[in-house]
Chains A and B, each alone.
Chain A
Amino acid sequence: MKACPLGINIPGFIRYLREGSVNEAYSKIRESNCLASICGRICSAPCEKACILNKENAPINIRALERFAGDFGKDKVTRLPISKDSKKIAIIGSGPCGLYSAWALIKKGYRVTVFESLEKPGGVLRYGVPEFRIPKRVLDSDINDIKIEGLEIVPNCFFGQTLSFDDLLQNDFKAILIATGAAIPKYLDIPGVNLAGVYYGEEFLMRVNLMKSNIFSRQIPTFPLGNKIAIIGSGNTALDCARASVRLGREVTLIFRRSEDEMRVKTIERDYAKEEGIKFEPLTRPIEVLASNKNFVKGLKCVRLDYTEQDESGKWQLEEVPDSQFTIEADTIVVAVGHRPNSNIQKFYPSIELDEDGSIMVDADTGMTSLNGVFAAGNVVTNAQPLIRTLGAGKDIADKIDNYLKAQKK
């Protein structure tokens, strides 16, 4: 239970499940997590690593239990008692961190408004994770529950352009939380990445998600997509891209630098991917994207790598194997080699200070940025953390904003 950043009462809800009362189990989870069925699907499950049964045999599959409780349990959701005179808080971004902190704040009795730039709330959960991992139906019902409890969501509002800090201050917002996440792709620097037919992971997933995705295997893709797709990267985004394109009926090769055991995904997901027929090319580095005569992608020139020696920190060094160049035939390439924080907001408000890697600098104790009353949390601060950590950050920042506003009152 300590391992969970949200502090879900894990033994408690499992006890209810054992007794067969799913609804009670769900309300137990919902005491501390409003996105139960989503966490039950894509959480990285630090609780399973900390499970005491690890020593004996295998841990309890807490994630699956949570998913079961989230999907089948029903909880009475009622409007929370929020008085009309309570302070107003604006949250920018309706991703996991934004939603969670909004939920935590309405539970504390504040009036919270979430501003989302796209047409529907959910952020990365809706546009960055494919349908087969989080069905939109589940996401909609979870967000709807939070809405019933009293959260206001304003879609189609691009903060900095449609709306500014001044507008918010005029409307009596006492605190502003920036939770824009980290969804800007890191660029790959090899010749030919600007050819047509090279996508970045986020772009690819967004395009797939924007197509009517519940029937997408039958839909004609609205963007040029070849039959052989090569995907560069080994993270969750890369694997999502690969599995989404398998579902579009394409031939997929996954290219990554490290070995299969070093992939930053859960083993079970890797096995699913293998089962679905994705070809793995471990220990491979792409050198060049080859162009066809029409400026489209024709193939990908790669080189094999091998482990040579350990450096001081114990990390194995990789080096190219001589004369091991080979070409992978592909007509679409998806690059998913990492994210950068989405700190575009700084372009409109230059007084917000950034770190070297582009994340927003915050005070460790108060969670405040260099502007007074403006907070930041989630991946825009910490960059590329798993879902559960960003939810944890949302929980922390809710407490910090609460403290700040209480101190202001005096």
Chain B
Amino acid sequence: MFEIVNRQILSEGIKRIDVQAKDIARKAKPGQFVAVCPEEGDEKIPLTIVDTDTSRGTISFIFHEKGQTTGKLGSLPINESIYSIVGPLGSPARIEKKGNVICIATGVGIAQILPIARAYSKEGSKVIGIIGAKSKRKLMLESQMRICCNKIFVATEDGSYERKGLATDIFKKIINEQEVNLVYAIGSVEMMEAVCSVTKEKKIKTFVQLNPVMVDCMGMCGSCRVKVGGEMKHACIEGPEFDGHKVDFKEFKMRTQALEELDECHSHKLQPNPQKKESGPLAKYLWGFLKD
């Protein structure tokens, strides 16, 4: 039913898949996502719809092969069918013509911001893109972003490409130089928090997209609960887009990071990584003596 039409490796561990899904392609709007379940009995993965093709009836999404299920999804070949895709879910992004718009994203967030940046530039706003990644190898969708943004800044943490540093550093610089009407931030929690703290001072409207853990993605389980403006909200129904100034980042960080840490522990336990053995404490101790 949901046949894979195309599959691409974008960068280290990041893949793009095009899937035949007529009904979803017809209805999808920028900012919405789908819940993908690669095989029967797997958990569902919420993935943002990056691109839709209504004439062919396909949708495409980009994901990072992090855990077990995403690994399974990434290993499916072309012409294989995905067990279930539900969508489009979530509320679409609020897009209107707004002078200067900054779209800032890091890591896999670039895939999520691409449809939004496209929609804003289509509406006629001037889009300034800021994308960041750890290194050049992990940067993705740069050319696509270049096409849809009026101006683009790229930052890598290790300086292997363009500017060295964090995306937020560039953001702070730009926001002091130019007049900005709206900021859209997607990426790591720290980045979004930093962006929101800057824009809160300047009173610039900021939207963020949160990606909490989801189970059924239909507002039934309460796993994706986020505190926004003192109220508990379901990110899968009322989100994933929220007003950045109202999100309780402290609580959100607490939940997502603790789970991520545990995920890492689990995956290490399941697949022991044959890494280089580091010298033991005794050797280190003796080496210290020799040095002196």
Contact = CB atoms under 8 A, between A and B. Distances in A.
Nearest to B219: A344
B43 A194 contact: no
Closest 9 CB pairs of A and B: A196-B258, A203-B221, A119-B84, A295-B258, A212-B41, A200-B222, A224-B262, A203-B223, A295-B254
B205 interface: no
A161 B27 contact: yes
Contacts of B41: 210-212
Interface in A333-361: 342, 344, 347
A118 B251 contact: no
A400 B87 CA distance: 32
Given A184-B220, A197-B258, A222 B88 contact: no
Contact of A162 (B27, B43, B215, B216): B27
A294 B258 contact: yes
Given A118-B86, A295-B258, A162 B23 contact: yes
B89 A207 contact: no
Contacts of B258: 195-197, 294-296
B83 interface: yes
B22 to A, nearest CB: 10
Contacts of B259: 196, 224
A365 to B, nearest CB: 30
Nearest to B28: A161
Interface residues of B, number: 43
B170 interface: no
Contacts of B180: none
B210 to A, nearest CB: 13
A203 B219 CA distance: 10
A187 to B, nearest CB: 6
Interface residues of A, number: 38
Interface of A: 117-119, 127, 155-158, 161-163, 183-185, 187, 194-197, 199-200, 202-203, 206-207, 210-212, 220, 222-224, 294-296, 342, 344, 347
A194 B254 contact: yes
A6 B223 CA distance: 35
The DSSP consensus for interface residues of chain A is loop
Contact of B43 (A119, A210, A296): A210
A209 to B, nearest CB: 10
B218 interface: yes
B16 interface: no
Contacts of B220: 183-184, 202, 206, 342
21 contacts: A118-B86, A119-B84, A119-B86, A156-B85, A158-B86, A163-B23, A184-B220, A194-B251, A196-B259, A197-B258, A202-B221, A203-B221, A203-B223, A206-B220, A210-B42, A220-B270, A223-B43, A224-B259, A224-B263, A294-B258, A295-B255
Given A196-B258, A202-B222, A210-B41, 9 more contacts: A156-B84, A162-B27, A195-B254, A195-B258, A203-B222, A207-B215, A212-B41, A296-B262, A344-B218
A135 to B, nearest CB: 15
B69 to A, nearest CB: 8
A212 B223 CA distance: 20
Contacts of A222: 43, 68-69
Contacts of A344: 218-219, 237
Nearest to A163: B23
Contacts of B216: 118, 127, 206
B278 interface: no
A161 B88 contact: yes
Contact of A158 (B83, B87, B262): B87
Contacts of A119: 37, 40, 83-84, 86
Contacts of A206: 215-216, 220-221
